[in-house]
Structure 1
Amino acid sequence: MNTPRIRRLWQRAWQAWLQRQPRTDQHTLTLNNLYVWPTRSGWMLAVVLGLLLVGSINYQLNLGYALTFALAGAAAASVWTAHANLAGARLRARVPDIVFAGQAALTSVELDGNDKRPRWALTLRWLDEAEARPAWADIAGAEPVSVAMPWTPPRRGRWPLPPLLIETRYPLGIVRVWSVWRPTATVLVAPAPETHAPALPPPAPASVEGSCHGRGADADGQEVRPYRDGDAPCRILWRKAAQHPDEPSQWPVRSDSTPTAEGPLWLNESDCGHRDPEARRARLCAWVLQADTAGLRYGLRVGTATVPPDQGHVHRHRCLEVLACA
């Protein structure tokens, strides 16, 4: 028997079956998508029941008949109970806005029983990770239960969640009732930022003298003072302040009489100094995080994509999305 070949054929058939399952926003467990299969303990119980039945027939043991059919009845009842433990439940998934390459996306799977019946010993596991640790959950009442399911995407980009397996072996562990769900939710994976990235590049010259949006340049020849609460962001010398992003007291602030002549900061792929495209994106990602932490108004140019200068959480997310998918 060619065991590796049989295993490959089985894996191919299994993957083909998975691909035929539609992706949905939520997954309701019904008769159409719940499957029942005996466990090893179930097969052993079947063998023992067969031996008990043969012995009872051979020796005409009435107590043997009673024991055999009592155990068989309990096993049959456990199959119905295990199926009812999952039937009618509903699953939803919530994913984080964005993660960085190499980090686990902490997905939250919400289990809703749809009724007040308790559901015990539920197991969830991602199917694309052979050594993924399963998560266990119980639904004690009508309130939904959230289960944290970490999943590590392979690399940067926008990735759909892998198939999720939910199963139960409650109450006796002799059968396995299971179902597979393919969520429609996707995870945005940005490049992992460079660990020791250099300082931000200098801003472009301002098109209009005295423009407030472009302020924050070199302090040479200018009157500066330490930052105080309430200072306008356009008076902070952001190139210097970026060296101490977590220490506002170290930020130099331009005095009211000091003129400015700098425009918005442009983060260009050509300024990264790396030949490797992934290394360039890692540096750009680090620069985006630095500029966002410093409150700068910045733009991004990578490949054929251009993000106009802006600032704020939405702009940061847009830049990271471009770096993830460009």
Structure 2
Amino acid sequence: MAQPRALVRSPLARLRAWWLARLPAAAEHALTHRNLYVLPTRPGWMLGLTLLLLLVGSINYQLNLGYLLTFLLAGQAAVGVWVAHQNLRGLRLGVDVEGEAFAGQPVRVRIDVHNPGRRARWALTVRWARADADTASVDLPPGEAVSVALPLVFATRGRQPLPPLSIETRYPLGAFRVWSWWRPAGTVTVYPAPEIDAPPLPGAAATDGPTPPPLVASSAAPAAVSDDVPDAVRPYRTGDAPARVLWKKAARSDGDPSGWLVREAAQRQATAALWLDSSTCGLRDAEAQRGRLCAWVLQADARGLRYGLRLPHLVVEPDSGPAHRRHCLEALACH
């Protein structure tokens, strides 16, 4: 029987995980001599062994040229350590999550590397502190910033902290590795993985009956319309038919679509609400319910429907639009 991965980690991996957990979280990271570390690489250890053999041979056979070669190579190695250290010192790092994160699917995280100095920085490598993490290499011109995108996969839903990030260089000789660790302070809201081949949306719920009172207030409220606008008029949304636009009022908005209004029958407004309920979705497992409801939220939003969400401890009133979609997905992720 295979043992859990957490139980078969090497002592070195456990020590590194313990040390990374003790790093203070920060929104930005500045590389200084206090957080830069230097160790020889495998070629560096071989270089050190070669220098030791050259020194022993030169002492044994009294070879002046051997002394010259040994100390010349040792001096170059020492200069290489200093150059590699200066290649990272002074850089600043920032992080930003691009797009939405679903469990089990990669999300793009943008890493901003800023070089405030007057010299270029070469052969920088950025990666997450994970065994299977991708790496990104970058060169930095003087006084400029470069952004690199690193994919990141979260296995579970909820608010997940960003893992530690490392930046390193082996420039110029490759004999020494200089690196620094950073634990970003941000979190990522990971939505449930939408069910693959989810069933069609349930039928539109009748709104004649009483609506269950929300246990938690919904933060996504319908867009406000001024008092002089009839009830059968709503704000314009991308994809609305031009024939439904109130062009006389649209002419006053100087061509800004955010100020346009669209006719909508009051009867349609009353019957367009759709309830997505965890108790009637046809699944018993809580995580499977979240996956199906997530797929339904995405379907309903793509079709422009007004929909509400019912969870065991949360009710989100029917609405539509990007803000309502995000509110429902966050409810599925965090409750």
Scaled to the shorter chain, the TM-score interval is 0.7 to 0.9
What is the distance in 1 between the residues matched to 2:128 and 2:20? 13
Cα drift, residue 10 of structure 1: 2.7
- Structure 1, unpaired ranges of 5+: 214-226, 233-253
Residue 220 of structure 1 corresponds to which residue in structure 2?
Answer: none
| 1:274 pairs with one of 278, 283, 293 | 283
Secondary structure at 2:271's aligned position in 1?
Answer: coil
Q: Work out the CA distance in 1 between the residues paired with 2:264 and 2:62.
A: 106
Instruction: Decide whether the 8 Å contact of 2:273 with 2:308 is kept in 1.
Output: yes
What is the CA–CA distance in structure 2 between the aligned matches of 1:105 and 1:59, rounded to whole Å?
62
How many Å apart are 1:31 and its aligned residue? 0.9
1:100–1:260 Cα change, 3 Å = closer
Q: In the alignment, is the contact (CA less than 8 A) between 1:97 and 1:188 conserved in 2? A: no
Q: Does 1:171 align with 2:172?
A: yes
Partner of 2:152: 151
1:1-326 matches, within 5 Å, as 8-128=10-130, 130-196=131-197, 197-206=199-208, 228-231=241-244, 262=271, 264-326=273-335
5+ long unaligned stretches in structure 2 = 1-6, 211-230, 234-239, 246-262
Q: Alignment length, in residue pairs?
A: 288
- Provide the rounded CA distance (Å) in 1 between the counterparts of 2:327 and 2:264: 33
Distance 1:174 1:45 in 2: 8
Q: Deviations over 1:281-314 (max 9, x none)?
A: 1221122112212222222111201112222111
- Classify 1:203/1:257 alpha carbon distance in 2 versus 1 (closer, same or farther; 3 Å): closer
With normalisation by structure 1, the TM-score equals 0.81
Q: How far is 1:212 from its partner?
A: 5.1
Matches of 1:83 and 1:313 in 2, distance apart? Answer: 46
Contact 1:97/1:187 (8 A) holds in 2: no
CA 145–258 in structure 1, closer or farther in 2 if over 3 Å, else same: closer
Q: Identity over aligned residues, as a percent? A: 53
Determine the C-alpha separation between the residues in 1 that align with 2:269 and 2:301: 21
TM-score between the two structures when normalised by the length of structure 2: 0.79
Structure 1 residue 97 displacement after superposition: 4.6
Whichever residue aligns with residue 296 of structure 2, its letter is: W
Aligned-pair CA distance for 1:70: 0.7
| Contact 2:232-2:266 at 8 Å conserved across structures | no
Q: Which amino acid aligns with 1:69?
A: F
Q: SS of the counterpart of 1:95? A: strand
The SS at the match of 1:230 is helix
Tell me by how many angstroms 1:261 deviates.
5.7
CA distance 1:288–1:230, shift in 2 (3 Å): farther
Are the equivalent residues in 2 in contact too, given 1:49–1:68 (CA < 8 A)? yes
Taking the aligned partners of 1:66 and 1:18, their CA distance within structure 2 comes to 43
Contact 2:120–2:139 under 8 Å retained in 1: yes
Give the letter for the 1:178 counterpart.
W
Kept in 2, the 8 Å contact 1:31–1:87? The answer is yes
- Cα distance in 2, alignment partners of residues 7 and 322 from structure 1: 35
What is the DSSP-based 3-state SS (H/G/I as helix, E as strand, rest coil) of the residue aligned with 1:142? coil
